[in-house]
Structure 1
């Protein structure tokens, strides 16, 4: 039912829910290395890097516009980071490459520099189609037709609008049986009511209509209920992060996703800080903790987010990844196996002695506790002798060491040649455009 304005769509009560009965409760996104496949839904949580920033930040240069070299660097870092299950999508926006061609370089970077699953381009329907074509070169036409090899982000233009670009990309991916994350982007107070319940009601309506549309395009196409909910300062209008209200929105939305039987996307390591400082750390800790506690299935922005999403931070990336690794150990729960209960060790050591030299400790000490890649727990004197570095300075060295040690995963030479030929043909077909 279209409203009198010719633009507003009124969906009858129950129709969206009925259409969503054909959406899968979980699905596997395939990577070109099958060992990297990820399950999205049914209690699994997949972590992916930051998405979308036009700037990068590091301690050496400060803040500047991102380039394709930065994009490649973040793909490499995600590939080398065990806590990142996914290569992500627009890990930063490479402004040195023409707008109408950069998606080709970005998708190729994910395919060539990593063997983890990745996200597709959504900035125009034809760019989504290019992504599907590149996936078919890698996986084969029939495999892509029958399996999810791409996931993509479809944002609602809240309040209650889906624009032509997003709907166009949705049509391409859903028709190709590839997964859409239908995600209202909400800054409460500006794009939704100031209350938690009002915000949840609005975003649930937006998400249901978007997800139902994917099922109209192709029944059974994989789809994810996404939310990005944050608050704003009622004094300045600036977005705020790490506050309690967005966590409540996340918890309520996660329960609604489970109720309607689709996977859920939200959360991340979000902050408003411009640099990797204490504010960045505590705001990110708040948001990633809510993400884990809420049972989110697909987590964008798990590493690298700075400045309210305007910058991808090199130091922030490895600091966040360290925290996400800790969260994953926490989510693993308590080991109640015979080794985990350690009764033999308790009997061996007995009263008044220590466990450092016992057989159980010797057998388990390498994996007994999470070992941070960033934290310094040495004496003051040793810390001082090593340069009195803070966490960001240690992170600066870590990401540089990781890039220096990077080795690209193997790829079939024929596939690589076909990808490069496809990219060259597409680039030659149109002139460069930067708008």
Structure 2
């Protein structure tokens, strides 16, 4: 296992001058073009804090001074905790963590391999699976449970996730009321309101921006309440180059950065103590079909660039990577996931979501893909570790002892370092062909399926204490236990 939080940042796709040009362009967008809202409460609030608001057209413009003031107030470090401290994440600088994500409607059934609708039990089983996979550092609910009514969807996805993993849990909330119920569940688990703020075992994603430059008003109101409550929140905006942002990657970066900075102004004006995470996650449109592309190399390029922008402002960064447009766990899934993940990680993106399990442009998940992606993430984290150069690792004494024509296998130095220097995969097959054939000649998907089945049969996540669990179920209506 390689622990999360290793520093990236070796990959620099933008120069310092280019970053400043993007920043200045974003300020011009906010000052000249502005963003749009049709909600009176939002317009009134932004007007009161000094934004230039055209109430008739719903256009909000921000002066550079207002934006710069918010940048200076925003958090440079955000703590996201697990129910067990070993799973805590510290988002700052260029520290890298990878985890799940998505809102897939479909699952490739583990037994049949056929596509089916996602249900709440899938959230439970995937959380349990992820709990046992060391290289997946956090859990975002990956599917929309289609057997649960919308009234009880948010509370059940969080409760089910928290019941089946001790890793940090992030998700969305579709209303202020449901967000407050989710927070109440987490407060019961942690031991109260103040304790949850000290050790936030949950956080929220808010897709509050409908690119280009228009607020999703109902989600923005949820965002405002979460910020008031001082719970960590990611400001997700995902423009598509060529469709909802300029086809040029530089233009897309200027726009998505402007969107993010408007969110920083909004959230800091409500609560400057709020743990807010910069969340520009642009991709590109397929110019032949206008489909949303997740496996495009440009997604990795844009994620790396957004990591640099977040670092320029000293913001934690909610990124994405490890994505694919492939429909099944195949070769295409492997190379698209590997490329988009490693680019974000090497750039030092802090919180890389959608890095495990997702297929078909985040519309489908496969259980065995989580196991495969756990291995891809492990390889990426090993790449971030780099090479430790010191007297011991240079090994001059051992080289001299073994001498020309010798062998290092039996040396104590080899035994001491082999498990920390070398990455040992569990899915990849490295045997000779004859041995591989003798074991059934299984491909990576088959091997991953067997590992998945074993974990689901044997792994026991840390349970929520029974008395706490009873209290939660008695106070929150509509909860289902898995």
TM-score bracket relative to the smaller structure: over 0.9
* 1:209-238 Cα distance to aligned partner (Å, 9 max, x none): 112211111112111111222112211112
Mapping of 1:324-335 within 5 angstroms? 324-335=377-388
- Quote the residue 1:432 is aligned against: none
Q: Secondary structure at the match of 1:266?
A: strand
Shift in Å at residue 17 of structure 1? 2.4
* Distance in 1 (alpha carbons) for counterparts of 2:307 and 2:113: 39
* Distance in 2 (alpha carbons) for counterparts of 1:74 and 1:352: 50
One of 394, 397, 401 as aligned partner of 1:348: 401
Bigger drift between 64-73 and 244-253 goes to 244-253
* Distance in 1 (alpha carbons) for counterparts of 2:362 and 2:443: 24
Q: Secondary structure at the match of 1:221?
A: coil
One of 294, 300, 306 as aligned partner of 1:253: 306
One of 24, 44, 54 as aligned partner of 2:95: 44
**Contact (CA 8 Å) 2:297, 2:336: kept in 1 or not?**
no
**Contact (CA 8 Å) 2:241, 2:284: kept in 1 or not?**
yes
Q: Secondary structure at the match of 1:373?
A: coil
One of 143, 147, 151 as aligned partner of 2:203: 151
Change (3 A) 1:111 1:243: closer
**Contact (CA 8 Å) 1:147, 1:177: kept in 2 or not?**
no
* Distance in 2 (alpha carbons) for counterparts of 1:249 and 1:142: 37
Task: State the TM-score, normalized to the length of structure 1.
Answer: 0.93
* 1:117-138 Cα distance to aligned partner (Å, 9 max, x none): 1114321111111111111111
Change (3 A) 1:325 1:346: same
- Quote the residue 2:123 is aligned against: 71
**Contact (CA 8 Å) 2:93, 2:314: kept in 1 or not?**
no
Shift in Å at residue 3 of structure 1? 2.7
One of 147, 159, 176 as aligned partner of 1:96: 147
Task: State the TM-score, normalized to the length of structure 2.
Answer: 0.84
* 1:159-212 Cα distance to aligned partner (Å, 9 max, x none): 111212311221221111111111211221111111111101110111111122
Q: Secondary structure at the match of 1:31?
A: coil
Shift in Å at residue 4 of structure 1? 6.0
Mapping of 1:85-164 within 5 angstroms? 85-88=137-140, 90-139=141-190, 140-146=192-198, 148-155=200-207, 156-164=209-217
Bigger drift between 189-198 and 49-58 goes to 49-58
* Distance in 1 (alpha carbons) for counterparts of 2:394 and 2:57: 66
Bigger drift between 133-142 and 198-207 goes to 133-142
Change (3 A) 1:411 1:243: closer
Shift in Å at residue 370 of structure 1? 0.7
* Distance in 1 (alpha carbons) for counterparts of 2:432 and 2:199: 53
- Quote the residue 2:349 is aligned against: 296
Q: Does 1:409 align with 2:462?
A: yes
Q: Does 1:375 align with 2:422?
A: no
- Quote the residue 1:189 is aligned against: 242
**Contact (CA 8 Å) 2:356, 2:370: kept in 1 or not?**
yes
* Distance in 2 (alpha carbons) for counterparts of 1:310 and 1:246: 17
* Distance in 1 (alpha carbons) for counterparts of 2:129 and 2:218: 30
Bigger drift between 242-251 and 272-281 goes to 242-251
How many pairs does the alignment contain? 426
* Distance in 2 (alpha carbons) for counterparts of 1:427 and 1:358: 61
* Distance in 2 (alpha carbons) for counterparts of 1:337 and 1:119: 40
Shift in Å at residue 145 of structure 1? 4.1
* Distance in 2 (alpha carbons) for counterparts of 1:111 and 1:163: 28
Mapping of 1:8-27 within 5 angstroms? 8-27=59-78
* 1:233-290 Cα distance to aligned partner (Å, 9 max, x none): 2111122344343333223322221122211121221110001111111111110011
Q: Does 1:280 align with 2:333?
A: yes
One of 65, 68, 83 as aligned partner of 1:32: 83
Change (3 A) 1:290 1:366: closer
